[in-house]
Amino acid sequence: MKTAVVTGGAGEIGQALARSFADDGYSVHVVDLSPTATEVARRVGGIAHIVDLSDPDAVAELSDIPSIDVLVNGVGVWPLTSFDDLTPQLWKTYVDINLNSSYFATWACREALRAASGAVVNIASAIAFKGHAEMVFYAAAKAGVIGMTKALAFAFGPDGVRINAVAPGLISTERNEGVWSDERKAAFRDSRALPVDLAISDVVSTVRYLASSDARIITGQTLVIDGGTVMH
């Protein structure tokens, strides 16, 4: 049986990814600080890890997994914060969550990924390419995820492990509905080449593609899924 590890597995996208992998017969490890991860794991017949992914000592628990075919680094928080309110302590906290967590998880899982010649898919953000005045820490951290993805592709390539990233735009989720006003959501939509709303399923299908054998020669890449706002 193949094994998938989904960090940020208690979130809306993480839950959908866990369900997708489980439906295809994977043993799924759902990793999150939220106790909701236990319920998600129960629903998909997986294993829950209640772990603070910004704490490398806590994340070390994942090194006990012997073989990992897919690691999805999906942790992310982005409360809208003006630069004047972005204190050095908040900066450090948010960078730990949005960037360092992906490094910590990959480090902990490195031997299990090598054992399976597995694949890592990091969740970045289109904000890393275009910036946002109230998401300075998020743009910086997710740009770091993209740079790390490129470097790790070289580091893991000799072991047959592929490292890629996806960079979503504004996805239609319950959480996002509560953050953005209708006017701002409309502005996001109007900026797209395709006049569409972005769904969780768009992220899931892209992650599943990059993690699959269909993408066997793709590594070090970041695929933007935002309906055509960011072109790169």
Return the domain boundaries, the chain: 3-171+199-225
Task: Please write the tens of the pLDDT for every residue from 24-75.
Answer: 999 999 999 999 999 999 999 999 999 999 999 999 999 999 999 999 999 9
Task: Please write the tens of the pLDDT for every residue from 172-187.
Answer: 766 656 565 677 767 7
Question: What's the confidence (pLDDT) of residue 98?
Answer: 98
Task: Please write the tens of the pLDDT for every residue from 4-31.
Answer: 999 999 999 999 999 999 999 999 999 9
CA distances from 140 to 93, 143, 231 (A): 13, 5, 19
Catalytic amino acids? 138
CA distance 89 to 94: 9
Superfamily designation of domain 3-171+199-225: NAD(P)-binding Rossmann-like Domain (3.40.50.720)
Task: Please write the tens of the pLDDT for every residue from 109-122.
Answer: 999 999 999 999 99
Confidence of residue 195 (pLDDT cuts 50, 70, 90): confident
pTM of the model: 0.94
CA distance 162 to 113: 9
